[in-house]
Amino acid sequence: MADLTKMVNAIDRINRSLGGAPKPKMRRDGYNHARGLHKTMLDAMARAMFVSAWAERQEERGKLLHGDIMDLAPRTSAEAKRAALRLEGRFEQLNPGGLSALLYMAAKADGMDPYTDNTVIATEYAQEFGHYLAMQALGSGVSWFDSHARFEMNFPHIEFYL
């Protein structure tokens, strides 16, 4: 959470220097947006791990899956949500600033300037980022960098089974 506060304070400083909105409004909105993005990433990580494990289990049982497995899979389990929190901890151990800092580094590498008041990272971008972080940590063979600019990031490995 400390990295979110630093990010919000940076946004406040930039906004004030540009003559933007008053600090209380920007801080509240910026902080809530950053918290929302963080939750979005965690939810996407949990969903990716759950659906991957669920689909693998279905295949082991001889069931053929037709369609988008993200839509076919049942609700994400509490166990997958706890695993996403553990994965977040591993990312934080390997990368200063944790998930939020990584998201902003990804956005910067993709040509956005997330520390200005003119750029807001879309929820969909954060969701995709969280999904691919989990998939790469699972060793699935897909990576965020398959379709996005590279930046320095250390990946943990995690296993998740149902």
Tell me, yes or no, whether 155 lies in a domain.
no
Of the listed ranges 15-29, 35-49, 79-93, the one predicted with least confidence: 15-29
Tell me, yes or no, whether 99 lies in a domain.
yes
Residue 57 pLDDT exceeds 90: yes
Of the listed ranges 31-35, 59-63, 89-93, the one predicted with least confidence: 31-35
Look at residue 121 in the predicted model and tell me its pLDDT: 86
Look at residue 25 in the predicted model and tell me its pLDDT: 32
Quick check: pTM over 0.85? no
Look at residue 114 in the predicted model and tell me its pLDDT: 73
Tell me, yes or no, whether 89 lies in a domain.
yes
Instruction: Pick left, alpha or beta for residue 79 (phi over 0 → left; psi -120 to 50 → alpha; otherwise beta).
Output: alpha
pLDDT in tens, 115-153: 765 567 889 999 999 999 999 999 999 999 999 999 999
Counting the structural domains of the chain, the total is 1
| Separation between Cα atoms, residue 55 and residue 59, nearest integer Å | 6
User: What mean pLDDT comes out for the span 5-17?
Assistant: 56
Which domain, by its residues, includes 21? 2-146
Tell me, yes or no, whether 62 lies in a domain.
yes
| Separation between Cα atoms, residue 154 and residue 147, nearest integer Å | 18
Tell me, yes or no, whether 159 lies in a domain.
no
Tell me, yes or no, whether 156 lies in a domain.
no
75 Cβ contact partners less than 8 Å away, ≥ 6 residues apart: none
Name which residue leads in pLDDT, 117 or 53. 53
Average pLDDT, the chain: 85
Tell me, yes or no, whether 158 lies in a domain.
no
Look at residue 26 in the predicted model and tell me its pLDDT: 33
